[in-house]
Amino acid sequence: MTTDVLPSRAAVTTAELVQAAADGDGQAWEELVRRYNGMLHTIARSYGLEPSARGDVVQTTWLRLVEHLGTVREPAAVGTWLATTARRQCGLVVRNREQERPDARAESIDASDCGRSPEEQAVARDQDARVRAAFRRLPTADRRLLAYLMDSPHPSYADVSARLGMPVGSIGPTRARCLARLRHQLASVGINSC
């Protein structure tokens, strides 16, 4: 498909663009990127990802389309395909980030065990493991908010709002509800959080 056949890319259907891009038409590919790149960035932003992680998600999503361009079952629904792929990629990034955080904090806790007896260290490690397990049982949104609020240096509510897409006025009440759920989880594993 050439530009002679498709004088105005805006009038071309998405299915035609996908087919043309699969056939090697660079302009068709550029039009697909023009149509859907903003949506992909919006999806990545909604997950609270940093700009570099958002860029990686968007780039990986486009790479997945390149890899599957000739086998997309419904070329007219490529926008939905891209959105689903971006959400899955964001989910992977968020899960990986959440899995890394508790371990990093655990290492810093273990580093302060120097003055404790071996028994005290074992009890502390057991309690730390139970706290991390209780934290992991919280809903994803709770974990994201609490983990971000625990970052050092502590972020401002404006930063939290921008990063997580929450109104500033709802952060405090949401935080209180998250902490109540965490206290409930801690009580269920035998830790009195007062």
Q: What is the pLDDT of residue 136?
A: 86
What pLDDT is attached to residue 114? 59
CA distances from 179 to 61, 66, 82, 129, 132 (A): 35, 43, 35, 18, 14
Q: Is residue 86 part of a domain?
A: yes
48 and 88 both lie in a single domain: yes
| Half-sphere exposure of residue 96: CA atoms within 13 angstroms, side-chain side | 8
- Residue at 103 is within a domain: no
125 lies in the same domain as 171: yes
Residues 136 and 69 in one domain: no
In 3D space, the residue among 91, 93, 88, 68 whose CA is nearest the CA of residue 78 turns out to be: 68
Within a domain: residue 169?
Answer: yes
One domain, residues 184 and 121: yes
Please report the pLDDT score of residue 131 as a whole number: 84
Q: Count of CB atoms within 10 A of residue 43's CB?
A: 22
Q: The domain that contains 51 carries what CATH number?
A: 1.10.1740.10
Choose among 94, 106, 169: nearest CA to 139: 94
Residue range of the domain that includes 162: 116-188
* Domain assignment of residue 105, yes or no: no
Say if residue 84 is in the same domain as residue 158.
Answer: no
The contacts of residue 54 (CB under 8 Å, 6+ apart) are 41, 44, 45
109 found inside a domain:
no
CB atoms within 10 A of CB 1: 17
For residue 150, give the CATH number of its domain. 1.10.10.10
Same domain, yes or no: 61 and 17: yes
Alpha carbons 45 and 175: distance in angstroms, whole number = 21
Helix or strand (DSSP H, E) at 69: none
180 located within any domain: yes
Q: Which pLDDT belongs to residue 103? A: 45
Tell me whether residue 108 is in a domain.
Answer: no
Cα→Cα distances 154→24, 74, 189, Å: 49, 46, 28
- Amino acid present at 7: P
Q: What is the pLDDT of residue 15?
A: 93
pLDDT for the residue 147: 84
pLDDT at residue 99 in the model: 63
> What's the pLDDT at 106?
46
The pLDDT score that the predictor gives to residue 3 is 45
Nearest by Cα to 88 from 40, 135, 136: 40
pTM of the model: 0.49
Residue spans of beta strands (DSSP E) within 94-162: none
> Smallest Cα–Cα separation from 63: which of 44, 86, 35?
86
SS3 18: helix
Divide the 194 residues of the chain into consecutive groups of 10 and give the mean pLDDT of each group. Answer: 50 91 92 93 87 92 91 90 91 77 48 67 81 85 85 79 85 89 85 69
Indicate if 180 and 127 belong to the same structural domain. Answer: yes
- Residues 183, 127 within the same domain: yes
